Chain A
Amino acid sequence: MAKAFPSLRPQTQGYLLIAPALAVYALFAVYPMLNVVWMSFSAWNGLSPTSRFVGVANYRAVLTSDPVFWGALTNTVYWTALAVIVPNVVAFGLALALNQNLPGRSGLRVIFYLPVIIASIAVATIWKWMYDPFFGLFSNLLTTWGLTDFIGDWLGDRRIALWSVFAAYVWQTVGFAMVLFLAGLQNVSTTLVEAARIDGAGRWDVFRHVTLPAMKPTITVVFVLSLINSLKAFDIIYGMTGGGPAQSTQMLAMWAYTQSMQLGDFGKGAAISVILLVVTLAIVIPYLRWMQTQSEASK
């Protein structure tokens, strides 16, 4: 590098190297983000050559007269609240178990990670088949065990459809968090565990006073990632229920898509997207700030 650009300062070289990536990100991430904000204040059907500025009319419509928005928001909140807890707790447990010296543990790690590398739409299809009330795996298993009373229309019943989808989501996402937790567990000092055992700590005390504090940075990363992922949950729902039945599995990201792409109201779709963005930032930024002050205090 130094020979190719003998007169360039290291900073200039750095900027040169990130320039291509920066251009791509500006074009495909920053510009659309700004554009969607602009779009949320306009009326546009996606086909006409011109759009019209309408002020906050889209937001007013979404917040006051949209029959689905509040349901989708509620679903998104429930979904997110569970999605940052359930898969991550399961993943933490798996990581703790697979961090032990078990025979065949690398094979087991691969198995639990496998769903992560499957495309979401394929995961959706697999689970849709398994949930089929007549030919699906679950119905057949329950029939075999003589538990026919428990057979439900997993994706067709509006009371349980969201949670049926959520189960598939847990299966799909556990592996990713598990791998991050496993990496984090490598930072837990064995000497510190030994020191704690000599100090009289039992398993739970060791976990609480040694493992958990050492895992804090990993937990933050996993929490933020799963928060963002669950707020924008789209593909698995799109593939399994498409938001139905009767909008019972509708979510904000999905509803924004439906408004724009299927109902042709890009202004409202953009407004929903912006609301989702604001909600996300409103949770993530304070959390990261708080974590930062925490880690600075412990240094």
Chain B
Amino acid sequence: MATVTIRDVAKSYGSAKVMHGVSISIEDGQFVILVGPSGCGKSTLLRMIAGLETVTAGDIEIDGRRVNDAEPKDRDIAMVFQNYALYPQMTVAQNMGFALELAGRKKAEIAAEVQKAAEILSLTPLLGRRPGQLSGGQRQRVAMGRAIVRHPKVFLFDEPLSNLDAKLRVQMRAEIKALHRRLNATIVYVTHDQIEAMTMADKIVVLNAGRVEQIGSPLELYDHPSNLFVAGFIGSPAMNILPAAAEADGVRVAGMIALPVSTALPAGTALLYGIRPEHIVLGEEGGVEAEITVVEPTGADTHVGLRFAGHDLTVVTKDRLAVGPGDQVTVSLCSDRGHLFDAATGQRIIAQAG
């Protein structure tokens, strides 16, 4: 197991710059997830760690050794691909043992390693099958088995669950997490699914347009997003964002609600107020009037769409509601868990309770 250090890494394709100086430090045994929308550069970064893409500028170090120019096979990494990338003509056992075979290890030794990994992943009865005879989830397990047998310093996962159905995805999520605990492995994992990131990661790196937006633990990102992008990206349903403005004695949201906070900003500064769907309280005295547009019961909780002062809001509540679209309801948008962002830069603004 090892540390991974990414220092000021940039990537260009010709004159097109796709990554602008990314720095991330990954500790030994950490499960780090790179997350971001399509085209943010997360897969490119992973492929640079793997050695499948060249690094235009900056350094990548694995266990303290600079690997920028090292071949993939000399980096002591293993990678699990989205489409599994299993050798179709080989059996499960041969697929898993292939890297060891190439490394010139003894047959008995390979068989023992494969057996051990197969047991961890409950693949033992499938060892003689070919990939074509396996289900998607089984193939994904074989791909993980192929990585495990090598005892690499770093495991790389490139959207490994994207091709699986929802139920299997939840199950594999738990399996990968258990695997991480068991192997105590350093893992770099790429996904566009923020739920995957929230549920599995020790540390999440939010990437956007080739830049790091924020690095932190899942709950840090959730509770203290450092900018508007992270606030909107992490959390489902997404955070509600309302226009706001700084005033002499506080902050006014949507021109109507006075928040009892002080920002030390000049009066009139344009701000944005973010509040998560579960922090809006329905039917509270002293709130503002809003119209219900949609009610979506999911069973455990209910998603309610609201129209308030020309803005759409989403509320998540545990209560069973006896209201429907078109009904008026009072809502309280004041919460000590709201967030303020600078409307111009999108950066988080620290406000003091006033």
A-side residues, CB < 8 A to B, are: 189, 191-192, 194-201, 205, 209-210, 213-214, 298-299
A-B contact count (CB 8 A): 60
Q: Please measure, in the bound complex, the distance between the C-alpha atom of A197 and the C-alpha atom of B51, giving whole angstroms.
A: 9
Residues from chain A with a CB closer than 8 A to the CB of B78 are 198
Known: A191-B83, A200-B102, A209-B98. A298 touches B89 (CB 8 A): yes
Residues from chain A with a CB closer than 8 A to the CB of B72 are 194, 197-198
Residues from chain A with a CB closer than 8 A to the CB of B87 are 192, 196, 209-210, 213
A189, B85: Cβ atoms closer than 8 Å: yes
Residues from chain A with a CB closer than 8 A to the CB of B51 are 197-198
Q: Please measure, in the bound complex, the distance between the C-alpha atom of A194 and the C-alpha atom of B86, giving whole angstroms.
A: 11
Residues from chain B with a CB closer than 8 A to the CB of A198 are 50-52, 72-73, 77-79, 99
- Whether B222 is near chain A, meaning CB under 8 Å from some CB there, is no
Known: A200-B102, A200-B103. A194 touches B52 (CB 8 A): yes
Which residues of chain B in 75-106 are interfacial with respect to chain A, using CB atoms and an 8 Å cutoff? 77-79, 81, 83, 85-90, 98-99, 102-103
Which residues of chain B in 286-319 are interfacial with respect to chain A, using CB atoms and an 8 Å cutoff? none
Given B102, B130, B132, B146, which contacts A201 in the complex, CB threshold below 8 Å?
A: B102
- Whether B71 is near chain A, meaning CB under 8 Å from some CB there, is yes
Q: In chain B, what residue has the closest Cβ to A192? A: B85
Residues from chain A with a CB closer than 8 A to the CB of B98 are 196, 199, 209
Q: Please measure, in the bound complex, the distance between the C-alpha atom of A191 and the C-alpha atom of B87, giving whole angstroms.
A: 11
Known: A200-B102, A201-B102, A298-B130. A213 touches B89 (CB 8 A): yes
Q: In chain A, what residue has the closest Cβ to B81? A: A191
Q: Please measure, in the bound complex, the distance between the C-alpha atom of A191 and the C-alpha atom of B98, giving whole angstroms.
A: 16
Known: A195-B79, A198-B78, A198-B79. A205 touches B85 (CB 8 A): no
Known pairs A197-B72, A298-B88, A299-B133; list 5 more (Cβ under 8 Å).
A194-B81, A197-B51, A197-B71, A200-B73, A214-B88
Q: In chain B, what residue has the closest Cβ to A195? A: B85
B85, A191: Cβ atoms closer than 8 Å: yes
For the complex formed, measure the closest distance between the CB of A282 and the CB atoms of chain B, giving whole angstroms.
28
Residues from chain A with a CB closer than 8 A to the CB of B83 are 189, 191
Name 12 A/B residue pairs within 8 A (Cβ), A-sorted: A192-B85, A196-B87, A196-B98, A197-B73, A198-B77, A198-B99, A199-B98, A199-B146, A200-B102, A210-B87, A213-B88, A298-B130
For the complex formed, measure the closest distance between the CB of B62 and the CB atoms of chain A, giving whole angstroms.
13
Residues 146-168 of chain B, each 1 if its beta carbon lies under 8 Å from chain A, else 0 = 10000000000000000000000
Interface centre among A198, A200, A210 (most CB of B within 10 A): A198
Q: Please measure, in the bound complex, the distance between the C-alpha atom of A57 and the C-alpha atom of B247, giving whole angstroms.
A: 115
Which residues of chain B in 32-50 are interfacial with respect to chain A, using CB atoms and an 8 Å cutoff? 50
Q: Please measure, in the bound complex, the distance between the C-alpha atom of A77 and the C-alpha atom of B347, giving whole angstroms.
A: 79
Residues 113-156 of chain B, each 1 if its beta carbon lies under 8 Å from chain A, else 0 = 00000000000000000101100000000000010000000000
| Tier of interface size on chain B | 20 to 34
For the complex formed, measure the closest distance between the CB of A248 and the CB atoms of chain B, giving whole angstroms.
44
For the complex formed, measure the closest distance between the CB of B93 and the CB atoms of chain A, giving whole angstroms.
14
For the complex formed, measure the closest distance between the CB of B284 and the CB atoms of chain A, giving whole angstroms.
53
Residues from chain A with a CB closer than 8 A to the CB of B133 are 299
Residues from chain A with a CB closer than 8 A to the CB of B79 are 194-195, 198
Residues from chain A with a CB closer than 8 A to the CB of B130 are 298-299
Residues from chain A with a CB closer than 8 A to the CB of B146 are 199
Q: Which 10 A-B pairs have the closest CB atoms?
A: A195-B85, A199-B99, A200-B73, A200-B102, A213-B89, A191-B85, A198-B72, A197-B72, A299-B132, A198-B79
Residues from chain A with a CB closer than 8 A to the CB of B89 are 213, 298
Q: Please measure, in the bound complex, the distance between the C-alpha atom of A198 and the C-alpha atom of B78, giving whole angstroms.
A: 7
Q: Please measure, in the bound complex, the distance between the C-alpha atom of A179 and the C-alpha atom of B334, giving whole angstroms.
A: 69
Q: In chain A, what residue has the closest Cβ to B74? A: A200
Q: In chain A, what residue has the closest Cβ to B80? A: A195
Residues from chain A with a CB closer than 8 A to the CB of B102 are 199-201, 205
Residues from chain A with a CB closer than 8 A to the CB of B73 are 197-201
Residues from chain A with a CB closer than 8 A to the CB of B81 are 191, 194-195
Residues from chain B with a CB closer than 8 A to the CB of A201 are 73, 102
A194, B103: Cβ atoms closer than 8 Å: no
Q: Please measure, in the bound complex, the distance between the C-alpha atom of A198 and the C-alpha atom of B157, giving whole angstroms.
A: 13
Residues from chain B with a CB closer than 8 A to the CB of A200 are 73, 99, 102-103
Q: Please measure, in the bound complex, the distance between the C-alpha atom of A298 and the C-alpha atom of B90, giving whole angstroms.
A: 8
Q: Please measure, in the bound complex, the distance between the C-alpha atom of A213 and the C-alpha atom of B86, giving whole angstroms.
A: 12
Residues 53-79 of chain B, each 1 if its beta carbon lies under 8 Å from chain A, else 0 = 000000000000000000111000111
Q: Please measure, in the bound complex, the distance between the C-alpha atom of A191 and the C-alpha atom of B52, giving whole angstroms.
A: 10
Q: Please measure, in the bound complex, the distance between the C-alpha atom of A299 and the C-alpha atom of B102, giving whole angstroms.
A: 24
Q: Please measure, in the bound complex, the distance between the C-alpha atom of A201 and the C-alpha atom of B87, giving whole angstroms.
A: 13
Residues from chain B with a CB closer than 8 A to the CB of A197 are 51-52, 71-73
Q: Please measure, in the bound complex, the distance between the C-alpha atom of A75 and the C-alpha atom of B203, giving whole angstroms.
A: 72
Q: Please measure, in the bound complex, the distance between the C-alpha atom of A200 and the C-alpha atom of B98, giving whole angstroms.
A: 9
